[in-house]
Structure formats: C-alpha cells, structure tokens
Amino acid sequence: MDLCGTADRYNCQFYSGGCLPNFCEHGGQCSQSWSTFYCDCSGTGYTGATCHNSIYQPSCEAYRQAGSSSDYFSIDPDGSGPLSSIQVYCNMTEDRVWTVVPHNITEAVRVRGSTLQKPYIMRFNYSASPEHLHILVAGSEQCQQEVVYHCRKSRLFNTWEGIPLSWWVDRNGERRTYWGGFLPGVQQCSCSLDENCIDMNHFCNCDADRDTWAHDTGILSYKDHLPVNEITIGDTNRTSSEVVYRIGPLRCYGDRFFWNAASFYQESSYLHFPTFQAELSADISFYFKTTASSAVFLENLGVKDFIRVELSSSSAVAFSFDAGNGPVTLVVTSPVPLNDKQWHYVRAERNVKEASLQVDQLPLHFLEAPPDGHIHMQLNSQLFVGGTASRQRGFLGCIRALSMNGQTLDLEERAKMTPGVSAGCPGHCSSYGSLCHNRGRCIEKDGGYTCDCSQSAYVGPHCKTEVSMSFETGSSVTYTFQEPSSVIGNKTAPSSTIYTEKSLSQENIAFRFLTTHTPAMLLAVSTYYQQYIAIILTHNGSLQIWYQFNKERRPDIFTPIFTSLANGHLHWVRIHREAKDLYVQINKDINLRYKLSSDTELNTIRSLTLGKVIGNEGMDEEVMQAGSRGFIGCLSSVQFNQVAPLKVALLNQDNPLVRVQGQLVESRCMMSDDFTTSHSFLDHSENDKGGDTFKSSVIGGVIAVAIFITLCMVAVTVRFLYQHHQANQKDSIKEKAHRHSLEPSYDTELDLRNSVQDSRREYFI
C-alpha cells in the first residue's frame, strides 16, 4: 500500500524505529526498542532527543550575558552545526569581552644561524582547528595578535634586491611582510607609521642592522589574516646576529551576531534568505521585542510542507510545521504580555523524534512525532523573516541573534538594502555591551531603562550591590526547589517558576565568604536520588568540592587550594560545570580545570542549603561533619544557576520556598581587622583554629616590633662607624666608581637575555 500520497514526493519513505539509519547526531550512541530508538548523548557535548543541541554557549559574550565572569569555557561557535566545542579563556575584566586562543609556543624563542637559503621556520599549533578559528574570527568584531620581535644585526627587508628576509604566514597560507599592525601588503613596521624608527632611512628598526638590540614589536590587527600560522626568519648567521621573538595568543572581542539585529517598521516589509535546510532536523532561536499583538516572525514554504514561528497573540508564541503528516502546532502561553517592548527569547526545534518550543524561562513544551510517519521536510521557497510571501501579518519591532541550525543570519547586512527595514534596533538595551551586571536584565522605559535584578544575586540600580548575611552557630538558609508531593505525583512538575529544569548536566555556582571557623559547610545541594554537591572547609581550612552522582561509587573530591581560607579575609569562589568538565576559580590567582568521573545529570534537585545541614543522610562522613558544624561568618552574593537564596531570604521572607534557621543578620562582609574584633563571631570559637590563629598573630606582631627596634639600633651604630671611617676610604671609593662605569650596553643585553628561557632553546638550520 502506497502511503506516500504523491509518487514524486522526495521523502517517500517512512520511519518505523530502530537505529538503521542512525539519526543520533554528533557521535551520540543509538539504542532501540521494538518501536523506537534512543540516543545516549553522554560525553558528546550535545543534548536533546537526537543529540542535536550543544550544551555550550556560542561565544564568550554569551557567557558574560548569562552572568559568568572571567574563566576557561567551552564554546561552540556553530551551535548545532558539525563542529565540536573548543576551550578558550574568556577575559571579562574589561568593558570588552576577550576570547583568548593559545598556541603551542608560549615562551620567547632565540634564533641563530639561519639564512635565506636555510631559514628558521616555526609553525604554530592552536588549541582549535582552522575551521573553528575561521568561524571565531569571522564572528568577532575585532581580532589581534601581539608580535614581540627583538633583533641584533638581523634584518627584515634591507636587501639590495628588496627580497624579504623574514615573514609570517596567515591563516590562508599566504606570506605576509607587514609587521606590528601596519597596513596589509606594505613591507613596513609600526615604527614607520609612528615616525619613530631609529634610522629614518628604513621602515623597520631591525633594518638599521646595528650591533645593539632593537625591536619591531606591535599588534597585528587585520583580522582576515589572523591567526599567525607560521614564522620564517632568514638573517641570523652573521657574527653577533640573532633574533628573539614571541607570538602572542589570538585575542578577539565582540560577537557580531549576538547583537546582530533588524528593525521592521512596515508590515509589508520582510527580509529574505536562501531556503532553510531542515530535512531531518531544524532548530531556530532568536530574540524579539514588539508592541504588536500578533505577527509572523519567520516562514519557509514547500509544495505542501512548511515551517513557521509567529506571535499568535499578545501573550503566546506558536511554532507550526508540516513534514508530510499534516500540520502540527505547538503553543507556549506566557503569564505576562510578550508585546511589552522588552526582549523575549524563543527557541523552536523539530527532529525525527519530537518537536519542542521554549519562550523565555517558561517550561519547555514537547510533542512526539507520529509513529511510522514521514521524516523529511521539503522546503523550496525563500526563507522570509519578519513577514510572509503574501505580505500579510508582517512583524513590527526588532529581531536579533537569529540562528538556524547553528548558522546565525546577518540581519543587519540584509536590512541595509531592504525598504521598510533598518539595521540595528533603537533603545538603550539594544546597544552592544551590558548596562545591567551580574545577570541583571535591561528593561526599556520611556526616556531611559531600568535593571531587573530578579535573576541576580545582586541588587541596586545596575545589579552591582552585594547581598550579604552574617551566620552564627546553628544558622542556615535552605531553598527548596521542588515539593516532595510533586515528586511523588509527578516527577517533572516544578514548584517554582524560577527553576524549571528536570535535571542538570551543568551548574554555575558563585559566592563570597569570610570566616575563621573550621570545619564549615559553605553550600550543599541535594537531590531526591541521594546525589549531592557540597563545598566545605576542612579542619585545616582548605576548600573542598564534593560531587556525588552515584551512591554506589566514590564521590569526586577536589581540593583547589591547600592553604587555609579560614583566615578572616574575604574570598570569592566560582564553580562552573559542563558535563565532565569542572572549572574552579578562587580569588584572582587560582584558575583550575578538573575532570569529573561522570557527566551524569543531577536528577530532580531537592534543596540548596547554606550553613548547617539538617537531615544530611546520604552524605559522606566528612561532609556530614562539616554540615553538622554549619557556618559561622559572612556569606555574600550566593548564586546557584538562576537562584539567589540569600537574596530571596532577605527580600522575600514570606516565600514558602525558603526556610531560615537560627539568627541571620543582613551585614556587609567585613575585612579581617573588623571581623576578628567582632564579638558576635568570635564568642563562638569552641576551641577551633580561628581563635588560635588570632592569638598567634598578636604574639607574632609583638615579636616583630621588638626585632624591628633592635635592627634600627644596630643600623645607627653601623652608620656612625662608617662615617668615622669614610675619610680614609676615598681612593677605594673612586676605584669602585670607575669599575661601575663599564660599558652600559652590557646591562641592556643582560635584561634581554633574562627575558628568554635559559634552557638551550636555540635553532641552527
């Protein structure tokens, strides 16, 4: 029996379950039952029914907008595309967010004995593939790479024939002979642009060909040529000729697509793009803001098949499609209006197993695909964004960061040539950068903006004011994620609109603390399946992180720092997990990465506790001891994913999700001097090490003062004897002064040699 309907239909095939063909993407392992298949996405970096969706953010800018701070992160620039994730360092200490990609040669290198016929050649291997680097550079606002190049009697271009003696190779394999950020295609260095070369007859300092050290150091910033893949040096075989160079990591800032937006101000206007390739799987994500009550965000048609995402009412988004089995519509209704002129997030997905739709932080809506149905979606028209082919129900407002199957569409470039559409989006909250900090959300207002800090651990106009509490003996704050009755009746029904995930394969934890008491429980997260996360201070004050995924196995225990943090000083801790990768940052000097034994998800989280843990069955003995002691000191700005328990406890005291035990006082976390004189904290020493530390520090201070006075007396005596003897030593002093006047260039060369590794990293070719 022909169930295809039409004989010429491309997808004249049905799928009846099983792993042939294998629809698990990105290396997911397929298993099957009698009627369907399942994908095991463990260790792939992807999730979803077919392992289609990356668990990582596409850029450092996206991590910053999610509330993260400087750290090592895995990013997936092409999202659900074929390329895997890469690890980079995200530097968020400046207004710009820098993505840093290192290579294999990090130290300065000395080169001798090379000629143009037998040059020195070094190729750089980056921590990302050329394909990853191409996407990263193309998606960045700007990229740069520092070139540190010291030379002595070694030229770059100064030959009679004008042939370069040294050059570098760009990402496309092309030789480049400009150095230090000068314009591409010009054989010059940055000193020529600045008009400060040591010999103005040459365009580079090294071409002066002097016996003393010179340098042509600068920044390469023409991003279409970056990164530097190779360097060739060919003039270091003459007497006293040598070069010392270092190529810095690739550094890029800005995300061209995160803020890539278009404004639609005529209903008949739209942007069109090539046909969306959505045969077996399709994911669509974007942000929008509007005042319209209904409109079509995007649409792509086929002969019978179609895919469409629209604002069906002022508070509902609809995802409709037909893959040959009849029209299907998923609708998510928001409890608040979506046409409030604020940014809202939409993500729609369809694959051979299911379809899903998510709006903002509302629960994800699923719909299973029909058994034995068509699996291929045939689209053949252009993709319309902001309208339809019929030019009806067009969109009025802004759309930004539109990504489809991992490819971000350049709305701004297409808008520049389309009537009724303009590039960018007006408003304070639409500009590049962050007006609201620490996960704060920017909300447009007439004549200005305001910051919604509800998802942040901070308060204040820009979500930058810390929320801190002083804990005493027996004090605790417990945040309950899910009521026990809901677990028994329906394990997927959350009791809090703040937390809607069924399980977690990633966590973001951040907090500050100050204490002199050990052992101590800083934070504990437990599930209904005897899984837990615990962050404790041990008896000696060192920080420990415990991950228990399976009660039948030993927990993962990490000790990032062995010195005591119970020293009365304020410390901050950030922990980020992505599957098996655990990133830990403590203060500003400790950045570590660990590998967990499993990427198991935390299933059905029950509660988060700060301070004393009551009913800690299922935890290991050392964790139970710390939990029974609780925490005495100050905790500040505690954040677990989207939950800020201290802030809820202080500002929403009637919230049934939060339970407070003992005495808690809102307080500014004091510095060590104030803290150690605080009666309320130190009266509860209980023979712990904090009191001993304080006493020892007082005794040590007295001894130090006595030693200082003694040394001063000795110094006065020595000076008197020296002045008495000075008249008889004039000739000797003159002789020493003469010895100190030796050739000054020696010091310069010594400084340079100290900057190079003392190991024999010399290259003779």
Read off the pLDDT band of 601 (50, 70, 90): confident
Q: Cβ(159)–Cβ(229) under 8 Å?
A: no
Kindly tell me if the per-residue pLDDT of 499 is higher than 60. Answer: no
Highest mean pLDDT range out of 176-190, 300-314, 453-467? Answer: 300-314
Of 745 and 583, the structure prediction assigns the larger pLDDT to: 583
Considering the domain architecture, whether residues 420 and 472 belong to the same structural domain is answered as no
Considering the domain architecture, whether residues 248 and 394 belong to the same structural domain is answered as no
Highest mean pLDDT range out of 128-132, 207-211, 494-498? Answer: 128-132
Q: What percent of the chain has pLDDT over 70?
A: 79
Q: How many domains does the chain have?
A: 4
Residues present in the chain in total: 765
The pLDDT value given to residue 591: 85
154: nearest Cα among 226, 74, 235: 235
Kindly tell me if the per-residue pLDDT of 273 is higher than 90. Answer: yes
359: amino acid identity, one letter? V
What are the pLDDT digits (tens) for 547-578?
998 888 899 999 998 899 999 999 999 999 88
Structure tokens at 111: 């080169």
Taking residues 616-643, report their average pLDDT: 89
Kindly tell me if the per-residue pLDDT of 671 is higher than 50. Answer: no
What are the pLDDT digits (tens) for 32-89?
888 788 899 988 999 888 999 899 999 998 888 777 878 899 999 888 888 999 999 9
- The Cα–Cα gap between 543 and 520 comes to 10
Considering the domain architecture, whether residues 528 and 601 belong to the same structural domain is answered as yes
Kindly tell me if the per-residue pLDDT of 689 is higher than 50. Answer: no
Is 754 contained in some domain?
Answer: no
The secondary structure of 414-465 as a DSSP string is HHTTSTTEEES--SGGGSSS-SS-TT-EEEEETTEEEEE-TTSSEETTTT-E
Read off the pLDDT band of 450 (50, 70, 90): confident
Task: Identify the weakest region by mean pLDDT among 177-191, 247-261, 729-743.
Answer: 729-743
Taking residues 428-453, report their average pLDDT: 74
Kindly tell me if the per-residue pLDDT of 11 is higher than 60. Answer: no
94: amino acid identity, one letter? E
Kindly tell me if the per-residue pLDDT of 759 is higher than 80. Answer: no
Kindly tell me if the per-residue pLDDT of 636 is higher than 90. Answer: yes
Considering the domain architecture, whether residues 78 and 108 belong to the same structural domain is answered as no
Considering the domain architecture, whether residues 267 and 193 belong to the same structural domain is answered as no
What are the pLDDT digits (tens) for 690-742?
334 333 443 445 455 456 556 656 555 545 444 544 444 444 333 333 333 33
Taking residues 150-158, report their average pLDDT: 86
What's the CATH number where 482 sits?
2.60.120.200
Considering the domain architecture, whether residues 121 and 168 belong to the same structural domain is answered as yes
Kindly tell me if the per-residue pLDDT of 332 is higher than 60. Answer: yes
Read off the pLDDT band of 503 (50, 70, 90): very low
* The domain boundary residue, chosen from 253, 285, 313: 253
Is 82 contained in some domain?
Answer: yes
Is 701 contained in some domain?
Answer: no
Considering the domain architecture, whether residues 105 and 241 belong to the same structural domain is answered as yes
DSSP state, 491? T
Structure tokens at 633: 């000191």
The pLDDT value given to residue 296: 94
Average pLDDT over all residues of the chain: 80
Angle at 641 between CA 310 and CA 346, to 5 degrees: 5
Of 639 and 185, the structure prediction assigns the larger pLDDT to: 639
Strands 46-47 and 53-54: antiparallel
Read off the pLDDT band of 541 (50, 70, 90): very high
Is 314 contained in some domain?
Answer: yes
Considering the domain architecture, whether residues 587 and 519 belong to the same structural domain is answered as yes
Considering the domain architecture, whether residues 420 and 480 belong to the same structural domain is answered as no
Q: What percent of the chain has pLDDT over 90?
A: 40
Q: Cβ(531)–Cβ(603) under 8 Å?
A: yes
The pLDDT value given to residue 630: 93
- Reduced to 3 states (helix: H, G, I; strand: E, B; else coil), residue 8 is coil
Structural domain that includes position 532: 467-682
* The domain boundary residue, chosen from 91, 109, 128: 91
Kindly tell me if the per-residue pLDDT of 232 is higher than 90. Answer: yes
Is 525 contained in some domain?
Answer: yes
Considering the domain architecture, whether residues 187 and 107 belong to the same structural domain is answered as yes
Task: Identify the weakest region by mean pLDDT among 185-199, 537-551, 722-736.
Answer: 722-736
What are the pLDDT digits (tens) for 93-132?
777 789 999 999 989 999 999 998 899 999 999 999 999 9
Is 18 contained in some domain?
Answer: no
Considering the domain architecture, whether residues 78 and 106 belong to the same structural domain is answered as no
CA torsion, ordered 690, 695, 697, 698, to nearest 10 deg = 150
Could you tell me where the DSSP H helices lie in 503-629? 621-629
Task: Identify the weakest region by mean pLDDT among 110-114, 296-300, 325-329, 586-590.
Answer: 586-590
* The domain boundary residue, chosen from 682, 708, 740: 682
Is 243 contained in some domain?
Answer: yes
What's the CATH number where 239 sits?
2.60.120.1000
Q: Count, in order, helices (H) and strands (E) of the chain.
A: 12, 51
Considering the domain architecture, whether residues 505 and 565 belong to the same structural domain is answered as yes
Is 758 contained in some domain?
Answer: no
Kindly tell me if the per-residue pLDDT of 324 is higher than 90. Answer: no
